[in-house]
Structure 1
Amino acid sequence: MQQKGLKLAYILAVLNAAIIGFSFLFTKVALGHAGPLDTLTFRFAASFLVMSIPVAFGWVKISYRGKPIFKALLLASMYPLGFFTLQVFGLQHATSAEGGILYAFTPVVTMIIASIFLKETTTLLQKLCIFLSVFGVVFIFVMKGSSINLSNMTGIVLLFLTCIAFAGYSVLARSLTKHFSPAEISYLMMGIGFATFLVISLTGHVSNGTMGEFFKPLSSGTFVLSALYLGVIASLVTTLASNYILSKIEASLMSVFANLSTIVSLAAGAIFLGEEITVYHWIGSALIIAGVIGTNRLGRKKAAAIPATVPLSKSAKL
């Protein structure tokens, strides 16, 4: 049963990477109709409202009584609030390519933070595989002619902080799975994200006298479709999946799957936008995949040895 849950966690990790990879395409489309904060507002409105339906009918049980709410609020401040806020303002001062390069370092940051706060350990070969996947992403961007411009230091710092925010979320969410179900964590995160971005967006429109512009994007079917994908699929589904994954595997092992989204975004660009796929795309993609597989397979023997002691501790408690 435990092995089945572990297999599902890995399947969901790959699915998450695919969803996030396509989210870049839908984000581009959405930003053509609305500003960043309005897009985030409608994105989290969709995710929160859709999840509120099964909660309201009692199909999904939610209870926060007697649970560490402060830690859950801290989690939401890292993701979605911290991550998306830092990303939006970071991209105002830096390029999307710089954002892609810096985001690739998230697994490294996660590995470091997880080792400090969760005492997660990785072997030398696992560390090398994580760096291999990071190198694969950086290789693709550099070969495309992208680089990090140090004159954009404000944007670079903000985008690097998104790595820390997401790494912090991964580590804290893993520890909170002992107290909350994946649905409880996800519902709180979506609700806080929706409320916060709604207040910020409306405040901006009221102060600028542009309230009419707030609802204007909803007249576009393309924007509504993009917002639904970003909100329901790329936010709600991935958050539920991530919280489940973190209840089964280490944060450092999960985070490396994020680099697979680069491969998916390349494929989406080629299929839907006619972007060219070159030899260095294939080389970089092979490095990413090798890094992801190596990180998780090299840790499988060590992880397999842990469950043998778990039943003893449980029976002792009983």
Structure 2
Amino acid sequence: MLPKGIKLAYIFAVSNAVIIGFSFLFTKIALGYAEPLDTLTYRFAASFIMISVPVAFGWVKLSYRGKPLYKLLLLATMYPLGFFTLQAFGLQRSTSAEGGILYAFTPVVTLLLASLFLKERTTLPQKLSIFLSVFGVVFIFIMKKSSFDLSNIMGILLLFLTCVAFAGYSVLARSLVQQFSPAEISYFMMTVGFATFLVVSMISHATRGTLGDLLHPLSSGTFITAILYLGVVASLVTTLMTNYILTQIEASVMSVFTNLAVIVSIAAGAIFLGEGVTLYHWIGSLLIIAGVIGTNRLGQKRNRTCNKL
């Protein structure tokens, strides 16, 4: 039997994948009403306001005194700042399909960084399972006749750097959970994200003389609903869960769960957008699921043995 904390971490990991999978749908909705930068500003405004309420009332205690805040700033630079900025500019110069393929390599990059900086060790079957999950995602996109256009090399490079940014966040957060609580990490990240995107967005509008346009999307209830999902659920809740997950399981193991989001996004597209689901979607999804299960199950025996020593 797995310890209660690790069980909860696995539940959170799957929940994260489901939430992120649906976030693509809500992002499409939000972008129909606002520019990408404005969307990020509202997204992190919702996150910041929501997490500030329990902090203001004293329901959540934060203590940063004597702790290495520069490490938290580095963490926030990787995610959300680096990840979302690189993603926005990367998608301007490439396709969403290329973004999906490259994002699938996040577990591989995380595996390498975790091995290098955290000295995490994974078995050969676990490594093969991670690559199986990645192949499942790539298989789906290849069968959709998605491919790399080398003329979009700058966009492809930026999208690959989003993998590095998220992998770096996972690895650094894994080490910081020894010094900060999940709430402390999350509050700092949401604050930096909101402040930075707000300032950049306002400067962008001010230089173009369109500052008034920043408030226009708020007249739409659909936009507000999408932003609440993206800000509160897809940003704040997933960040809190991720920071908890990293207190229980390795960064390399957690990262493979991100590929489950592809399955959820396929299901969401089929249910809400009427997109077709074909045989290759099923095959790719089974490969992803097999890879996730293999990464976790094939490492449990070794982990239990290590714990007994």
Q: What's the TM-score, normalizing by structure 2?
A: 0.99
Indicate the residue corresponding to 1:157 in structure 2.
Answer: 157
The corresponding residue for 1:211 is 211
Matches of 1:197 and 1:2 in 2, distance apart?
41
Q: Deviations over 1:48-78 (max 9, x none)?
A: 1000000000000111001111111100000
Which residue type is aligned with residue 194 of structure 1?
F
Deviation (angstroms), 1:155: 0.2
Task: Verify: 1:196 aligned to 2:196, yes or no.
Answer: yes
Q: Which residue of 1 aligns with 2:50?
A: 50
**Secondary structure in 1 matching 2:3:** helix
Q: Are 1:35 and 2:26 an aligned pair?
A: no
Q: Which amino acid aligns with 2:199?
A: V
| 1:111 to 2:111 alignment | yes
Report what 1:285 is aligned to. Answer: 285
Task: String of CA shifts for 1:164-205, please: whole Å, max 9, x gaps.
Answer: 000000000000000000000000000000000000000000
> In structure 2, do the counterparts of structure 1 residues 57 and 307 end up closer, same or farther at CA, with 3 Å as the change threshold?
farther
Distance 1:306 1:239 in 2: 29
What pairs up with 1:5-20 in 2 under 5 angstroms? 5-20=5-20
Q: CA deviation at 1:2?
A: 7.7
Q: Could you give the per-residue CA deviations for residues 132-186 of structure 1, whole angstroms, max 9, x where no partner exists?
A: 0000000001101111111100000000000000000000000000000000000
C-alpha distance in structure 2 between counterparts of 1:258 and 1:281, whole Å:
17
* C-alpha distance in 2 between matches for 1:6 and 1:117: 22
Q: Which residue of 1 aligns with 2:178?
A: 178
| Aligned counterpart, 1:316 | none
CA distance in 1, matches of 2:266, 2:194: 30
Give the structure 2 partner of residue 94 of structure 1: 94
- Whole-Å separation in 1 of the counterparts to 2:215 and 2:2: 47
Q: Tell me, in whole angstroms, the C-alpha distance in 1 between the residues paired with 2:276 and 2:73.
A: 43
Counterpart for residue 228 of structure 2: 228
How big is the shift at 1:302?
Answer: 1.7
SS at match of 1:121: coil
Post-superposition offset of 1:244: 0.2
**Residue equivalent to 2:267:** 267
Q: Cα deviation per residue 1:216-263 (whole Å; 9 max; x = unaligned)?
A: 000000000000000000000000000000010000000000000000
Tell me the amino acid that sits aligned with residue 100 of structure 2: G
How many residues in Structure 1 have an aligned counterpart in Structure 2? 309
- The Cα offsets for residues 19-47 of structure 1, whole Å up to 9 and x where unpaired, read as 00000000000000000000000000000
Counterparts of 1:226-265 in structure 2 under 5 Å? 226-265=226-265
Question: For residues 193 and 255 of structure 1, what CA distance do their matches in structure 2 show?
Answer: 22
Going from structure 1 to structure 2, the CA distance change for 1:2 and 1:72 (only over 3 Å counts) comes to farther
SS at 1:108's partner residue? helix
Aligned AA (1:270): A
Q: 1:297 maps to which residue?
A: 297
> Residue 75 and residue 266 in structure 1: after superposition, are their counterparts in 2 closer, same or farther (change >3 A)?
same
Considering only aligned residues, what root-mean-square deviation do their CA atoms show, in Å? 1.0
The whole-number CA distance in structure 1 between the counterparts of 2:2 and 2:273 is 42
For 2:63, the equivalent position in structure 1 comes to 63
Measured in 2, the distance between the counterparts of 1:21 and 1:105 equals 16
Cα 1:201–1:135 change in 2 (3 A) is same
Give the fraction of aligned pairs with identical amino acids, expressed as a percent.
Answer: 73
Unaligned residue ranges in structure 2 (runs of 5+) = none
Task: Give 1:308 shift.
Answer: 3.6
Amino acid at match of 1:117: F
**Partner amino acid, structure 1, of 2:98:** E
Determine the C-alpha separation between the residues in 2 that align with 1:149 and 1:56.
Answer: 49
Runs of 4+ off more than 4 Å: none
Partner SS, residue 246 of structure 1: helix
Q: Deviations over 1:261-317 (max 9, x none)?
A: 0000000000000000000000000000000000010011122234445xxxxxxxx
